[in-house]
Amino acid sequence: MSGLFDLTGKRALVTGAGRGIGRAIAEGLAEAGAQVTLCARSRDEIETACAELAARGLRATPLVCDVTDIPGFRDRIEAQPAFDVFVNNAGTNRPKPLSEVTEEDYDAVFGLNTKAAIFAAKAVTAVMAAGAVRGSVINMSSQMGHVGGANRTLYCGSKWAIEGFTRALAVELGPVGIRINTICPTFIETPMTAPFLDNEEFRRQTLSKIKLGRLGQPSDLVGAAVFLASDASSLMTGASLLIDGGWTAD
Distance CA 94, CA 103 (A): 12
| SS3 call for 243 | strand
Q: What is the CA radius of gyration of the chain?
A: 17
Closest CA relative to residue 223, chosen from 25, 78, 45, 43: 25
Distance CA 12, CA 135 (A): 10
Active site residue 155: yes
Residue 27, amino acid: E
3-state secondary structure 24-82: HHHHHHHHCCCEEEEEECCHHHHHHHHHHHHHCCCCEEEEECCCCCHHHHHHHHHCCCC
Distance CA 11, CA 33 (A): 9
**Catalytic entry in 73, 83, 110, 155:** 155
Distance CA 130, CA 47 (A): 30
* H or E element in which residue 63 lies: strand 60-64
Give the residue numbers annotated as catalytic, written as ranges. 155
